């Protein structure tokens, strides 16, 4: 296994790091979409996140990483039957959905080997099963084939994967945090898929010389000696991992005061975002950020920091307004949250 | 070994060609040393002996053969998939290795790289980025090593180029066309030089001063990608070791500029200093100006270095690089606007097969369906308890594979007709005549048409996109007239329709017939100034979306109003009195 570049050694790109950390704290926020020009370190940052995630407890041998503590209806079919499951600790799965993946592999299909050898109709779980309770990462998300997007959309919304094929009828939990990255110049993202992401951001390469020199120096040092380099950052990585882990523990109990709720509603109203999802995500993200900063309650500052990530991809396009979505959101944030 | 003094001599065609060849030799040596780490080389050249010589020289330097892979190699061959015959023989799924993993740690030559379809370039980029590929196909998941070095032979003429995402991942760029076969030799480096530098390079971490210098150069050339900067640092180190010069030696830096940075430049250092910032980019000026306002490097030094580096380039190569820089700057400015998703869809994309349903009128791909069903035959025979011994193949609905066609992209012509009581209406008959001409042309191009009319306080979609030109003609004939000119509302209605057309996958274009005398604002107030302002704002939004269109001025005396509007719309302006049937048809053909 090759060593991935450490998350904490990434220079700049603070927005991207913050958004990913927020998504890691509360999977219910719905994932992160990172769009940006070439060579900004999108993939590097996202792949680095995998090493930072805390361990979770899962049923031993369960292909869907079921939570032993979960209620009966949130378990996969085999764990439902199985009383007294054995639990073990696993790393939170980060599953790569590569370009060119086929539908049977993503959703799961009949296990050919078992079918041929023993004539048994067994289900071979796909990538969505492997990503349950973890992250599903799609690099070049805007180049994903349409029929794969169709398959993803439903599962991402319902958290349940339904497979009806080859005489199999399977329902299994598939709750994952969707993380996507792409370059907008290479293709547009279907609006339905865009809507599945909780947070979205646009990254640019840092333009100032000292930062760029720093990036190159670190990257060069990493390329020459990946193991040694990672060791240098292990303390920092550990600290951030513990911070995320602690935030995951307390996030449910972080208080969101009424005035923050009000302001969140006001923001969404002012921007005319569709539906309640924007508002809900706004509140959950502010709460996750508060948990990361170990505060007991979310405040206006937290709300302000997450508002752009949450809202920028939820605006209705207004053909009369030439300014970019970001400018509109920033303007509204400035008026609503002075 | 190259004599360092040779690199900076005054230029003549022969000298320029020989300096190009020196760059090419250097690029071959650098890629032989760094291999996968630098991604590869983009070789801009037509097929010919010089190009063949260069590839042979590279093979000799790295002491390994290259492998040729055509750009049309499809996803299933690139990544691999289930090997049906082996799987059936062994009774378990067997993965057939894809081309990319077969080429692990090898050098791949891709001829006609400008023809690489965008949907395959993602796989190449993944291999170049991570040195391995994830495969999740045909019930198999695996990660295989695929650290390839790619030599992209770019034979593109003018605008043709390999996908930008691929070029970004190839560190080096060389041009061989101006070089004559008599001017080439392979004496500069030997395989033993390569081995020596390969051993040295991993011992040398990058030097701070080099990184800083290259970062400043990159900034002055408008090269913002971190990947490009990283490449330039690696290439610089390799060149310095190959030539046995210090990294910051002017010859080394000049080579890095020519091979790595200049081909990616979006600006030239001297452009920035004397000229005011470009005027066209109004929408985002504030941000742009701010970032430009703080000069990232003292322009003087970098400018001189770039000039010294370009001094030996033949003029045609320099011109080409500059036009590429210009194009990529325009692309950067346009990035994010909605219009440009369509282009590559027009060329018939090779699209594969997918799971499908017989009932929905798809065309079934029989070989693919049989392939899908094949592994299950023995198992299904066992499950079959119908006792029908004569049964042949077991095909289940889930096996059905259908062909996917990407039909030639349809286009929709949106007519926006001014039916107000102003002078526009006086020439309505003529306008209708012009439209009928256009409709005939649309018919021959199988273009769909839609009709929006505006008068009084609002614009109305009279005819949603249809192929029925008879209906279009009839609706048009019955078009009533009179009232104010709500131009802003009309343009907004047009823009909304165009967006929905574009979202459905077709290409919208528009023909606006008006005298340009807007006098009703979007909110319905009658005011010439507010109406005009609304119209111009809406027109700019339309122009931002990049739809093609024509404005036909129907005023009796054509005025600047309609012309201004056409400019704001970025549309072709045709005043009706001068517009003959031919000139209208010519313009429409340009749209179709």
CATH no. for residue B44?
A: 3.40.50.300
Is there a contact between B229 and A112 if contact means CB atoms under 8 Å apart?
no
Question: How many CB atoms within 10 Å of residue B14?
Answer: 10
Identify whether residues B174 and B209 lie together within a single domain: no
* Extents of the domains making up chain A: 7-54+92-203, 254-336
> Is pLDDT of B157 > 90?
no
Average pLDDT over residues B85-114: 85
Average pLDDT over residues A7-33: 91
Instruction: Count how many domains chain B has.
Output: 4
Question: Is A298 in contact with A255 (CB distance < 8 Å)?
Answer: yes
pLDDT in tens, A200-211: 998 888 888 898
Identify whether residues B330 and B365 lie together within a single domain: no
Is there a contact between A40 and B226 if contact means CB atoms under 8 Å apart?
yes
B217 touches chain A (CB under 8 A): no
Those residues with Cβ within 8 angstroms of residue B571's Cβ, 6 or more apart along the chain or in another chain = B510, B512, B548, B549, B550, B551
CATH class of the structural domain A7-54+92-203: alpha beta
Helix (H, G, I), strand (E, B) or coil at B20: helix
The span from the CA of B551 to the CA of B562, in Å, is 8
Question: Is B255 in contact with B26 (CB distance < 8 Å)?
Answer: yes
Rg of chain A over CA atoms, in angstroms?
Answer: 21
The span from the CA of B486 to the CA of B125, in Å, is 50
Those residues with Cβ within 8 angstroms of residue B287's Cβ, 6 or more apart along the chain or in another chain = none
Dihedral (Cα; A51, A53, A58, A62), 10-degree rounding: -50
For every residue of B25-39, DSSP letters joined together read: HHHHHHHHHHGGGG-
pLDDT for the residue B120: 85
pLDDT in tens, B295-340: 334 445 777 777 777 777 777 777 776 666 666 555 443 332 223 3
Give the best residue of A142, A216, A317, A321 to mutate against chain B (max B CB count within 10 A): A216
Q: Which of B335, B334, B343, B336 is nearest to B505 (CA)?
A: B343
Question: Is B490 in contact with B459 (CB distance < 8 Å)?
Answer: yes
Residue A317 sits at φ, ψ, to 5 deg, of: -70, 130
Range of the domain at B176: 12-72+103-187
Identify whether residues B256 and B116 lie together within a single domain: no
The active-site residue, picked from A105, A190, A212, A277, is A277
Residue B476 sits at φ, ψ, to 5 deg, of: -65, -45
Q: Evaluate whether residue B3 is within a structural domain.
A: no
Least Cα separation, residue A3 to chain B (angstroms): 11
Identify whether residues B456 and B510 lie together within a single domain: yes
Predicted ipTM of the assembly: 0.77
Is there a contact between B122 and A99 if contact means CB atoms under 8 Å apart?
yes
Question: How many CB atoms within 10 Å of residue A336?
Answer: 20
Question: Is B513 in contact with B418 (CB distance < 8 Å)?
Answer: yes
Is there a contact between A209 and B297 if contact means CB atoms under 8 Å apart?
yes
**In the annotation, is A277 catalytic?**
yes
CA B477 distance to own-chain centroid: 43
Identify whether residues B158 and B51 lie together within a single domain: yes
Q: Pairing state of beta strands A160-165 and A168-173?
A: antiparallel
Q: Evaluate whether residue B279 is within a structural domain.
A: no
Identify whether residues B259 and B375 lie together within a single domain: no
Q: Evaluate whether residue B496 is within a structural domain.
A: yes
Question: How many CB atoms within 10 Å of residue A39?
Answer: 20
Is there a contact between A167 and B396 if contact means CB atoms under 8 Å apart?
yes
pLDDT for the residue B271: 43
> Two tokens at B571?
């549309």
The span from the CA of A323 to the CA of B581, in Å, is 39
pLDDT in tens, A131-171: 998 999 998 888 887 778 888 888 888 888 988 776 778 88
Helix (H, G, I), strand (E, B) or coil at B461: strand
Please give the share of chain B, as a percent, with pLDDT higher than 90. 20
Question: Is B550 in contact with B525 (CB distance < 8 Å)?
Answer: no
Those residues with Cβ within 8 angstroms of residue B548's Cβ, 6 or more apart along the chain or in another chain = B509, B510, B571, B590, B591
Buried b / exposed e over A150-162, threshold 16 CB at 10 Å, is ebbeebbeeeebe
Those residues with Cβ within 8 angstroms of residue B315's Cβ, 6 or more apart along the chain or in another chain = none
Which residues of chain A neighbour B354 with C-beta distances below 8 Å?
103, 145, 147
The span from the CA of B539 to the CA of B491, in Å, is 7
Please give the share of chain A, as a percent, with pLDDT higher than 70. 94
Which residues of chain A neighbour B161 with C-beta distances below 8 Å?
none
Rg of chain B over CA atoms, in angstroms?
Answer: 30
B336 touches chain A (CB under 8 A): yes
The span from the CA of A173 to the CA of A155, in Å, is 9
The span from the CA of B497 to the CA of B399, in Å, is 39
CA torsion through residues B69, B74, B79, B83, sign: negative
Find the distance separating the first CA and the last CA of chain B, reported in whole Å.
57
Question: Is A62 in contact with A21 (CB distance < 8 Å)?
Answer: no
The lowest-confidence range among A273-282, A305-314, B214-223 is: A273-282
> Is pLDDT of B194 > 90?
yes
Q: Evaluate whether residue B193 is within a structural domain.
A: no
Identify whether residues B144 and B222 lie together within a single domain: no
Rama region for A238: left / alpha / beta (φ>0; ψ in -120 to 50; rest): alpha
Residues forming beta bridges with residue B136, ordered by sequence position: B141
Q: What's the pLDDT band for A57 if we cut at 50, 70, 90?
A: confident
> Is pLDDT of A20 > 90?
yes
> Two tokens at B311?
């001094």
> Is pLDDT of B348 > 50?
no
Q: Does A254-336 carry CATH code 1.10.150.170?
A: no
Identify whether residues B30 and B151 lie together within a single domain: yes
The conformation of residue B64, written as its DSSP 8-state character, comes to S
């Amino acid at each position: 296994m090759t060593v991935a570049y450490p998350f904490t050694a990434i220079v700049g790109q603070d927005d991207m790091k913050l958004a990913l950390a927020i998504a890691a704290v509360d999977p219910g926020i719905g994932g992160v979409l990172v769009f940006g020009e070439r060579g900004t370190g999108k993939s590097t940052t996202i792949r680095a996140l995998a090493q930072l995630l805390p361990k979770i407890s899962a049923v031993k041998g369960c292909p869907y990483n079921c939570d032993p503590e979960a209620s009966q209806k949130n378990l996969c079919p085999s764990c439902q039957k199985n009383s007294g499951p054995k639990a073990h600790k696993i790393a939170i799965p980060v599953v790569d959905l590569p370009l060119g993946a086929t539908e049977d592999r993503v959703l799961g299909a009949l296990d050919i080997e078992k079918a041929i050898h023993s004539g048994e109709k067994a289900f071979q779980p796909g990538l969505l099963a492997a990503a349950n309770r973890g992250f599903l990462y799609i690099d070049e998300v805007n180049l994903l084939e349409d029929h794969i997007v169709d398959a993803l959309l439903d599962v991402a919304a319902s958290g349940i994967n339904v497979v009806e094929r080859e005489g199999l009828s399977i329902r299994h939990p598939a709750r994952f945090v969707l993380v996507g990255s792409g370059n907008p110049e290479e293709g547009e993202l279907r609006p339905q898929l865009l809507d599945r992401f909780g947070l979205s951001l646009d990254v640019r390469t840092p333009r100032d010389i000292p930062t760029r020199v720093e990036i190159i120096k670190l990257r060069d040092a990493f390329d020459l000696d990946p193991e040694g380099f990672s060791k240098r950052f292990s303390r920092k990585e550990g600290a951030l991992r513990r911070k995320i882990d602690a935030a995951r523990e307390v996030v449910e109990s972080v208080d969101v005061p009424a005035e923050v709720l009000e302001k969140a509603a006001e923001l969404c109203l002012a921007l005319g975002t569709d539906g309640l999802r924007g508002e809900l995500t706004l509140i959950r993200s502010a709460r996750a950020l508060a948990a990361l900063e170990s505060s007991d309650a979310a405040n206006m500052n937290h709300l302000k920091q997450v508002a752009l990530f949450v809202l920028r991809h939820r605006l209705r396009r207004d053909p009369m307004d030439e300014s970019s979505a970001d400018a509109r959101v920033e303007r509204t944030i400035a008026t609503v949250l002075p | 070994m190259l004599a360092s003094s040779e690199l900076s001599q005054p230029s003549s065609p022969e000298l320029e060609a020989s300096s190009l060849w020196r760059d090419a030799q250097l690029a071959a040596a650098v890629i032989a040393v760094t291999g996968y780490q630098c991604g590869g080389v983009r070789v801009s050249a037509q097929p010919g002996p010089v190009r063949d010589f260069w590839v042979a020289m590279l093979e000799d330097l790295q002491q390994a053969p290259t492998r040729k892979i055509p750009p049309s190699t499809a996803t299933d061959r690139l990544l691999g998939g289930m090997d049906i015959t082996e799987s059936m023989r062994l009774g378990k799924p067997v993965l057939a290795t894809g081309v990319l993993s077969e080429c692990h740690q090898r050098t791949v030559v891709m001829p006609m790289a400008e023809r690489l379809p965008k949907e395959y370039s993602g796989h190449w980029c993944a291999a170049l980025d991570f040195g391995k590929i994830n495969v999740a196909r045909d019930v198999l998941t695996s990660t295989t090593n695929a650290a390839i070095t790619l030599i992209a032979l770019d034979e593109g003429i003018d605008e043709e180029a390999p996908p930008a995402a691929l070029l970004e991942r190839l560190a080096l760029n060389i041009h061989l066309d101006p070089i004559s076969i008599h001017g080439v030799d392979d004496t500069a480096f030997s395989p033993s030089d390569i081995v020596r530098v390969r051993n040295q390079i991993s011992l040398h971490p990058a030097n701070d001063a080099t990184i800083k210098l290259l970062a400043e150069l990159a900034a002055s050339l408008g090269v913002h990608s971190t990947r490009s900067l990283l490449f330039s640092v690696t290439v610089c180190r390799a060149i310095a070791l190959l030539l046995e010069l210090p990294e910051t030696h002017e010859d080394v830096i000049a080579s890095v500029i020519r091979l790595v940075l200049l081909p990616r430049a979006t600006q030239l250092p001297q452009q920035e200093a004397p000229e005011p910032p470009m005027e066209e980019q109004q929408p985002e000026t504030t941000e742009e100006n701010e970032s430009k306002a703080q000069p990232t490097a003292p322009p003087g030094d970098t400018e001189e270095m770039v000039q010294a580096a370009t001094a030996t380039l033949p003029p045609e190569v320099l011109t080409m690089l500059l036009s590429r820089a210009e194009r990529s700057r325009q692309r950067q400015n346009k990035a994010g606007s909605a219009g440009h998703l369509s282009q590559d869809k027009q060329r018939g994309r090779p699209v594969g097969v997918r799971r499908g349903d017989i009932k929905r009128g798809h065309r079934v791909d029989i070989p693919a369906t049989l392939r899908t069903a094949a592994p299950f035959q023995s198992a299904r025979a066992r499950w079959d308890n119908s006792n029908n011994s004569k049964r042949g193949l077991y095909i289940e609905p889930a096996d059905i594979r259908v062909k996917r066609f990407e039909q030639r992209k349809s286009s929709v012509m949106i007519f926006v007709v001014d039916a107000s009581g102003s002078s526009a209406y006086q020439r309505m008959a003529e306008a209708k005549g012009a439209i009928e001409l256009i409709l005939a042309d649309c018919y021959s191009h199988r273009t769909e048409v839609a009709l929006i009319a505006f008068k009084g306080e609002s614009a109305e979609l009279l005819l949603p996109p249809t192929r029925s030109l008879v209906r279009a003609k009839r609706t048009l004939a019955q078009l009533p007239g009179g009232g104010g000119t709500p131009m802003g509302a009309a343009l907004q209605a047009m823009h909304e329709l165009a967006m929905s057309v574009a979202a459905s996958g077709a290409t919208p274009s528009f023909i606006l017939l008006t005298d340009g005398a807007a006098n009703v604002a979007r909110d319905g107030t009658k005011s010439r100034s507010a109406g005009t302002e609304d119209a111009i704002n809406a027109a700019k939004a339309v122009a931002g979306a990049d739809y093609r269109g024509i404005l036909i001025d129907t005023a009796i005396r054509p005025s600047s109003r309609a012309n201004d509007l056409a400019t704001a719309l970025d549309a072709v302006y045709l005043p009706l009195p001068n517009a003959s049937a031919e000139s209208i048809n010519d313009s429409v053909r340009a749209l179709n």
